[in-house]
Amino acid sequence: MTEQPSPKDVDASTRPGRGRDRRHLYPGRPRRIAPTYTEQEVADIASAAAAAGLTPTGFVGEAGLAAARGEQPMTLGRETLAQLQVELFDARVAVGRIGTNLNQGIAALHATGDVPPWLVRAAALCEQRMRRVDGVIARIDRALR
């Protein structure tokens, strides 16, 4: 195992990009807990923090609080964000298609005075897709808290 230089020994301009901090509080958090780790444990934490897009300190804070509260730790890593992005794109396309169908149904209603039989199904699909979008938004919201 190679010895890693201390963060204090590394010039800030050569340091790799750091993750984001935890949500800041004003006037700040008045209490500090300072756990100690082996080099391997620090490397594991740094790797997990990078995957979650957090600084190591922020990651330890978030993970510790989640464990203490019986919650799942925040995992908004690259794979999770990519999955959420795909779900949002799919929902966006589906809502656009359903919107087109709804517009055609309303045009037919105005032209004939009769509700096309498929219009009710299109409206139900639109509602279903919107619930799916709301579900993705709720997942993002939970992960960001």
Q: Which of 34, 32, 60, 61 is nearest to 47 (CA)?
A: 60
Work out how many domains the chain is built from and give that number.
Answer: 2
Q: Which of 42, 68, 94 is the last residue of a domain?
A: 68
Residue 141 has pLDDT above 90, yes or no: no
* 29 & 56 share domain: yes
Q: Which of 41, 68, 95 is the last residue of a domain?
A: 68
Instruction: Give the span between the Cα atoms of 113 and 106, in whole angstroms.
Output: 10
In a domain, 2, yes or no: no
In a domain, 18, yes or no: yes
**pLDDT at position 112:** 92
Tell me: the pLDDT tens digits for 83-140? 777 888 888 888 888 888 888 888 998 999 998 888 888 888 888 888 888 888 887 7
In a domain, 31, yes or no: yes
Instruction: Give the span between the Cα atoms of 58 and 135, in whole angstroms.
Output: 27
Q: Which of 32, 47, 68 is the last residue of a domain?
A: 68
Q: Which of 1, 90, 9, 10 is nearest to 38 (CA)?
A: 1
Domain membership of residue 26 as a residue range:
7-68
Tell me: the pLDDT tens digits for 20-55? 556 667 787 788 888 999 999 999 999 888 877 788
Tell me: the pLDDT tens digits for 46-61? 988 887 778 898 889 8
What global pTM score does this model have? 0.41
**pLDDT at position 6:** 44
